[in-house]
Every structure is written in C-alpha cells, then in structure tokens.
A = this chain, B = another copy of it.
Amino acid sequence: MNKPLIFITNDDGITSKGLRSLVEAAEEFGEVVIIAPDKPQSAMGHAITISNPLRLHPSIVFPNHKAFSCSGTPVDCVKLGIYEVMHRKPDILLSGINHGENTSSNVLYSGTMSAAVEGAMENIPSVGFSLKDFDSEADFSATIVVAKKIIKEVLSKKLPDHVCLNVNIPKGSIENIKGIKICKQAHAFWEDRFDKRDDQFGRPYYWLTGDFECQSNDEDSDLHAMDNGYVSVVPTHFDLTAYSAMETLKKWNL
C-alpha cells in the first residue's frame, strides 16, 4: 500500500516559516509534495488566474521533498498540483500554517482557507491551519503539535464529502492551549477604514485598514473558542445558499 500522499500549500509564500512548520508536522505521515505561491498571496480569497499564464518552478526550499513555487494564487496552486503535478489524487491537502488567524468571515478573504475549500471541491480531505500571530518569525511549536493531532485524525477518519476544516490556533505555548473545540463561523466583520495619503505628485492613494468587530458572542463560535484559549475547528463547505431565505423570496412578486 502506498504511503499517504500529502499535498501542502499556503498563501504566505513558499519561504514562509508557517509553511515549513506545516511540512515539519506532516512529513511523518506520508509523502509530502509542496506547491506554494512564489510571493505572498494573503487575502487573495478564491481568486484564480485566467487572463495570465501560470509558471511553476521546482524549488530548493525543501531539499527533502518534491516542491514547486507557483506564480499564481493559492487556488491556482491547488489546481496545478492536482492536474499537473501529482501522479495520483492526494490523500489529504493541508494549507498554512497561516501567519494570522482566519476565524469568522475572514474565511472569505483568506487564501489559506480558499485553498482548503478548493480541495473540498475536489473532494480531497482538506485542512487550513492558521495561527493568531502575524509575525514572520512567529512561534509555531504549538501549532505543529495541534496539526499532527488533526492530520492523524483526518487521515484515519477522512472527512464528510466536500467538507474541509478551518483550524485556528491561539498564540502561545502548547501548555496554554485548553483543548480543541468544534465550532461554527462567528458572525463578525471588519469595520474598514482607508488611510488616505498623497504621493510625491500630490495624488491620493489609499491603504486598506480597519478594526475587527464581533457582532455576536455565541459560545459555539470560532472566535469565542479562540478568545478562551481553545483551538477552533470549523467544518467548512462551499454551498453559500441561504436556505432559510428561500421561502421568503418565493412569496415575492417575481
């Protein structure tokens, strides 16, 4: 029997510490293949590259593994991996470990999670991992322990069809993590602001910034789990239908 084929990608780019940490967590479980963006691709959501060609280069970043850098987005990496690089369907797809959390509605903006959602579309058991620490030198030691535990379970139990996992891990040491909670996506958003500046010619430009606003404090949400020292695991799919609104709309005069 073949060893599990483990496809690893991320959105922070092939040289990021979070990616190296995920490879370190995964390599004991099977054959690892890495295809990751050649530059940071944070907040690229589910973007794909359709108006430009894509490049794929063998990478020396992981000398012990088959690894490629890709000129596209995280979802491009998943598509190229599955349709051009892999010799068979991967047994698991892992994305991350992201430098920064992807709880609540951030799942929509997140390249890390969009790669996992793309894996779910292909019906590959897929997991996105994110650490609540934006620092490029963040300490991933606790996330490696958590990731091993989750990878082991996913390889053994698989996942429901077309469902992936959104795993968020609090900052800090493994001793400070209280446990792992199965959660729903919190109802929370960015209150955006733009930092408007003038360039050297006096012409305005804008930097997107803002504050994160939690509009609910449901105890079963990912934000609540994280705020209380737990790892949050949200089963995530890609059916965006608001079923509860269908009956209301059927009464409209359309």
* Contact surface of A with B, Cβ cutoff 8 Å: 40, 42-51, 53-56, 73, 75-76, 79-80, 82-84, 105, 107-109, 114, 117, 121-122, 149-150, 153, 157, 159-160, 162-163, 165-166, 180, 182, 184-185, 187, 189, 192-194, 196-197, 203-208, 233-246, 248-250, 252-254
Contacts and interface: CB of A to CB of B under 8 A. Distances in A.
B246 A192 contact: no
Assembly stoichiometry (copies): 2
Contact of A206 (B56, B160, B243, B249): B56
Contacts of A157: 252
22 contacts: A42-B51, A43-B49, A43-B50, A45-B46, A45-B47, A47-B47, A48-B208, A53-B205, A55-B206, A79-B194, A80-B194, A84-B194, A105-B238, A107-B240, A160-B242, A162-B187, A166-B240, A184-B243, A235-B241, A236-B242, A237-B241, A238-B240
Contacts of A242: 160, 163, 235-237
Contact of A55 (B73, B163, B205): B205
A162 B157 CA distance: 34
Nearest to A195: B53
Contacts of A237: 240-242, 245
Nearest to A44: B47
B40 A51 contact: yes
A11 B84 CA distance: 28
Nearest to A84: B194
A253 B181 CA distance: 11
Contacts of A189: 121-122
Given A45-B47, A54-B206, A235 B246 contact: yes
B182 A250 contact: yes
A246 B184 contact: yes
Nearest to A121: B189
